[in-house]
């Protein structure tokens, strides 16, 4: 890259742009899913949008063994409790599972994020409405996401996430979303 004076300068943003321009979809390591690294390169990327807030996220969050601090902050804000506008640290293990499942699905569209972090007040409100919201949900710790892809079925998304063998995967076919978390390996739902 060259700056306005014509001298060469290399910025973090420039490096990221170069990586983004040359990378193919990366398959992140997620707990026990090392097999998904084959041919993945040294970059991890996540793409999401939130229909409730109108926000989109397309970020490289890991390069050559290191998570990127600025991307971490972006993800924390994006996955906030939108009802209360409260942020919480999002566990990168969950983001890794999400990115690996997305790669396995060979999807180009971003995930639609329905729920990331949930404040205790939001979780209590959702529980009071019924519908399978856990009292001690992993959403409360920033360890879970509820996601949808328009081009893939709940079953397809759930199978891809479960193939990572790295956390919990819940199928919510009636509501058209899949829950992914970085807790113990388990599956539930239809």
Mean pLDDT of the chain: 83
Give the C-alpha separation, 156 to 105, whole Å. 8
User: Alpha-carbon distance 28 to 92, whole Å?
Assistant: 11
Give the residue-averaged pLDDT of 98-113. Answer: 95
Q: How confident is the model at residue 26 (pLDDT cuts 50, 70, 90)?
A: very low
Question: Dihedral (C-alpha) 166, 45, 159, 142: value to the nearest 10 degrees?
Answer: 50
The reported pLDDT for the residue numbered 180 is: 98
pLDDT score recorded for residue 47 = 97
The order of strands in the sheet holding 66-67 is: 66-67, 55-63, 43-50, 111-115, 144-148, 177-181, 168-172, 186-189
Domain 12-189 sits in CATH at: 3.30.1380.10
Per-domain boundaries in the chain: 12-189
pLDDT tier at 135, thresholds 50, 70, 90 = confident
Q: How far apart are CA 100 and CA 95, in angstroms?
A: 9
Among 61, 53, 75, residue whose Cα is nearest residue 20: 61
CA separation for the pair 166, 147 (Å, rounded): 17
pLDDT grade, residue 41 (50/70/90)? low
138-165 mean pLDDT: 96
Phi, psi of 182 (to 5 degrees): -100, 20
Residues forming beta bridges with residue 62, ordered by sequence position: 44, 67
Which of these ranges, 25-29, 70-74, 77-81, 96-100, has the smallest mean pLDDT? 25-29
Distance (Å, rounded) from C-alpha 32 to C-alpha 39?
Answer: 17
159: Cα within 13 Å, side-chain hemisphere: 7
What is residue 42's predicted lDDT score, i.e. its pLDDT? 81
3-state secondary structure of 47: strand
What pLDDT was estimated at residue 188? 94
pLDDT over 60 at 104, yes or no: yes
Closest CA to 61 of 49, 78, 74: 74
What is the CA angle 36-39-40, rounded to 5? 65
**pTM value > 0.85:** no
Q: Return the higher-pLDDT residue of 22 and 19.
A: 19
pLDDT digits (tens, 9 = 90+) for 158-176: 999 999 999 999 999 999 9
């Amino acid at each position: 890259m060259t700056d306005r004076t014509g001298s060469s300068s290399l910025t973090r943003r420039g490096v990221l742009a170069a990586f983004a321009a040359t990378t193919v979809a990366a398959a992140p390591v997620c707990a026990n899913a090392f097999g998904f690294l084959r041919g993945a390169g040294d970059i991890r990327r996540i793409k999401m949008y939130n229909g409730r807030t109108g926000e989109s996220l397309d970020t490289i969050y890991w390069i050559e063994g290191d998570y990127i601090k600025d991307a971490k902050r972006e993800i924390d804000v994006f996955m906030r409790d939108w009802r209360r506008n409260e942020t919480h640290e999002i566990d990168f293990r969950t983001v890794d599972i999400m990115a690996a499942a997305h790669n396995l699905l060979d999807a180009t569209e971003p995930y639609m994020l329905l729920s990331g972090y949930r404040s205790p007040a939001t979780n209590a409100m959702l529980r009071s409405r019924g519908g399978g919201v856990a009292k001690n949900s992993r959403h409360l710790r920033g360890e879970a996401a509820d996601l949808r892809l328009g081009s893939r079925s709940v079953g397809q998304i759930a199978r891809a996430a479960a193939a990572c063998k790295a956390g919990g995967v819940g199928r919510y076919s009636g509501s058209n979303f899949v829950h992914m978390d970085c807790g113990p390996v388990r599956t539930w739902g239809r």
